[in-house]
Amino acid sequence: MSHSGLLRRYLIFLAGVLCSALGISLITLAGMGTSAVSSLAYVLTYVFPGISLGTFTFVVNCVMLGGQILILRKKFRPIQLLQVPFTFLFSCCIDLWMGLLGDLVPQSYASHWVVLLMGCTCLGLGVALEVIPNVLILPCEGFVRVCSQEFHWDFGKTKTGFDLTMVAAATLLSLLDLGAVYGLREGTVVCALTVGYISRFFCKRLAFLVKKPEENHLPDTGVSAA
């Protein structure tokens, strides 16, 4: 693969990171719960007040990277450790978007739904842009892709199952530690049920971004294309 082709793939991936961070921030700012993939990190901000959503997002993603290593074992490629600095950037962007957009969200219930759906779309698009370049992927989506490929599961359905599992874990933690459900509302359920399918929609329609005549094969990054 040419250097320009590889650079284009990394730029697409970077765009996906920024778009995913924006999506998570919009969903959270909508005030109807956070995204499914961020639900555990968000509940942790209630358990440990004063620590940001971005910080716990970084911690949860590092755990998911460990999950990839456990599943892939010898097939895990060291280059995938670059997920760590990109996850750090992703986590910082979540806190940055939250700070920049926090005062711009309208207060009516209907407008909160609009912001929520915008966030779901941005997050689904971001996940797709992370997947299709096949260079790197953020750990949570990377864990989904590894499971999808190793166990031959559909990516969109696997993503939805993963999101629902994260919501269940966040709910259990909230009940056990806080005595009630915090940070999880109807918006969280909507995200869990839609983002996987939105990402699959964009994956199919944006695949042309990396399909160039001079590129006959994908780089060996440790995981195959979704």
Q: Distance (Å, rounded) from C-alpha 15 to C-alpha 5? A: 15
Query: Residue 1: what pLDDT?
Result: 65
- Looking at the structure of the chain, the number of domains it has is 1
Residue 48 falls within a domain, yes or no? yes
- C-alpha 123/C-alpha 25 separation (Å) is 9
Residue 28 lies in a domain: no
Nearest 5°: the CA angle 28, 31, 35 is 35
Total Cβ atoms within 10 A of residue 1:
14
Question: What is the per-residue pLDDT across 175-190, written as a single tens digit (0 to 9) for each?
Answer: 999 999 998 888 888 8
Q: Is residue 114 part of a domain?
A: yes
Instruction: Provide the 10 A C-beta neighbour count for residue 124.
Output: 26
CB atoms within 10 A of CB 33: 26
CB under 8 A, 24+ apart: contacts of 164-168: 164/36, 164/192, 166/36, 166/37, 166/39, 166/40, 166/192, 167/36, 167/39, 167/192
User: Residue 99: is it exposed, middle or buried by C-beta count within 10 angstroms (0-12/13-18/19+)?
Assistant: exposed
DSSP H/E element including 11: helix 3-29
pLDDT value for 222: 45
Identify whether 22 is part of a domain: no
Indicate if the alpha-carbon torsion angle 177, 182, 188, 189 is positive or negative. Answer: positive
- 178 within some domain: yes
Would you mind telling me the total number of residues written for the chain in this entry?
A: 226
Q: Is residue 125 part of a domain?
A: yes
Residue 160: domain span: 35-209
What pLDDT, on the 0 to 100 scale, is given for residue 148?
92
Residue 221 resides in a domain: no
119, amino acid identity: G
Would residue 13 count as lying in a domain? no
Phi, psi for 26 (deg, rounded to 5): -65, -45
Q: What's the CA gap between 196 and 121, in Å, rounded?
A: 10
Rounded Cα gap, residues 28 and 81, in angstroms? 28
Cα distance between residue 82 and residue 65, in whole Å: 10
- Give the separation between CA 144 and CA 159, rounded to whole angstroms: 6
Q: What is the mean pLDDT of each run of 10 residues along the chain (226 residues)?
A: 82 93 93 88 93 95 95 91 93 94 84 93 92 87 90 85 89 94 88 86 89 50 40
